[in-house]
Amino acid sequence: QWAHFLLWMNKEGGCLYKGKAGWGLFFRQLDRDGSRSLDADEFRQGLAKLGLVLDKAEAEGVCRKWDRDGSACWGIQPRCSPPMSQAREAVIAAAFAKLDRSGDGVVTVDDLRGVYSGRAHPKVRSGKWTEDEVLRRFLDNFDSSEKDGQVTLAEFQDYYSGVSASMNTDEEFVAMMTSAWQL
């Protein structure tokens, strides 16, 4: 079974990116030690979740084939996100800077309060949530798999790398970001 997976990998050029809610998120969740890479054991357990069972020796063999620099089986960031152009990186940084009102390099609910209001959200209006809960849930969209209420530029870039991968041109991506964040 895993041979079919590898054939697919070869066809896709070794890229495991399938969107923010797809492969990227799946592989980040498998990264138990937070190293932003998967070792053979993490990789094997991930494939088992997909119904592809490998023994330890097979998993190590697959990892040897795909390991580019000898550091791990798969480096998550390079595999999950195609490289972005300077124009895309710049507009992502501009959006992040707009949110980071404190300028400390981390976006929190306090930062969001200065930019957005959650008062009109239906759950706030009905009394089910507070405005801070709305802002926190919004912030969680950009946070890594460990929801700590703090979003760094790297996490924000990681989120938008998934969006970027689905857009063909820099112009399209920059226009979307400019409109979405009112830059």
- pTM comes to 0.59
Is 86-181 in the same CATH topology as 2-80?
yes
Q: Is residue 68's pLDDT more than 90?
A: no
pLDDT tens figures, 161-178? 878 877 889 999 999 999
Q: Are 88 and 174 in contact (CB under 8 A)?
A: yes
pLDDT tens figures, 122-134? 899 999 999 999 8
Instruction: Say yes or no: domain 86-181 is CATH 1.10.238.10.
Output: yes
Query: What are phi and psi for residue 156, nearest 5 degrees?
Result: -65, -45
Task: For the chain, give every domain's residue range.
Answer: 2-80, 86-181
pLDDT the model gives residue 6: 45
pLDDT tens figures, 97-147? 999 999 999 999 999 987 888 888 889 999 999 999 989 988 888 887 678
